[in-house]
Amino acid sequence: MLTRRSRAREVALQLLFQKDQNPAGVPRAAEEQFARDRLNGAADLTAFALALYDGTTRHRPEIDPKLAATAENWRLTRMTAVDRNVLRLGAYELLFDPSQAAVGVVIDEAIELARRFGSKDSPAFVNGILDKVARGRGEGRGARGEGETPPAQPDVPAET
């Protein structure tokens, strides 16, 4: 069974996939309605899903080169759309998300998304790339290095 926040991550992934396949985008109101509908109107989960989507989209110019450098012998354009967007979402959470989810939680959630929506090889691929991203966090702009004091926690519900 999916946790509530797992379900919100799934919705964020679906929005990212849609944006990847339709770069012209859809109206913001339609994205918000999609999230609300998929999350049964739960305001806290809708806000979480949209924050993940917005943060990943906003930081994509920094995330994509990091993923390309980490995924040796793989160009982002050659990855499946599911894998590419699971990696973007996971990299955003590892490198930029102010809620500071634990590394293990982020990677486990990404692996589960890859398992549910990707190919049979997707979970191992996503695990390998995000593990490297997590180990290299202190090297990039915006990354949370080891030993740093985490920022104040926003009002986001804990994993359930």
What CATH number did the domain enclosing 69 receive? 1.10.940.10
Contacts of 71 (CB under 8 A, 6+ apart): 79, 87, 129
Distance CA 24, CA 77 (A): 17
Task: Tell whether 144 is covered by a domain.
Answer: no
Task: Tell whether 123 is covered by a domain.
Answer: yes
pLDDT number for residue 155: 36
Domain span at residue 93? Answer: 4-137
Task: Tell whether 125 is covered by a domain.
Answer: yes
Task: Tell whether 156 is covered by a domain.
Answer: no
Task: Tell whether 148 is covered by a domain.
Answer: no
Per-residue tens of pLDDT for the chain, all 160 residues: 578 999 999 999 999 999 999 988 889 999 999 999 999 999 999 999 999 999 999 999 999 999 999 998 888 989 999 999 999 999 999 999 998 889 999 999 999 999 999 999 999 999 999 999 999 886 543 333 333 333 333 333 444 4
pLDDT number for residue 100: 84
**Total domains present in the chain:** 1
pLDDT number for residue 54: 98
Distance CA 111, CA 90 (A): 9
Contacts 24+ apart (CB under 8 A), 37-42: 38/7, 38/10, 38/11, 38/14, 39/7, 39/8, 39/11, 42/4
pLDDT number for residue 157: 41
pLDDT number for residue 18: 95
pLDDT number for residue 1: 55
Task: Tell whether 55 is covered by a domain.
Answer: yes
Task: Tell whether 47 is covered by a domain.
Answer: yes
Task: Tell whether 147 is covered by a domain.
Answer: no
pLDDT number for residue 23: 84
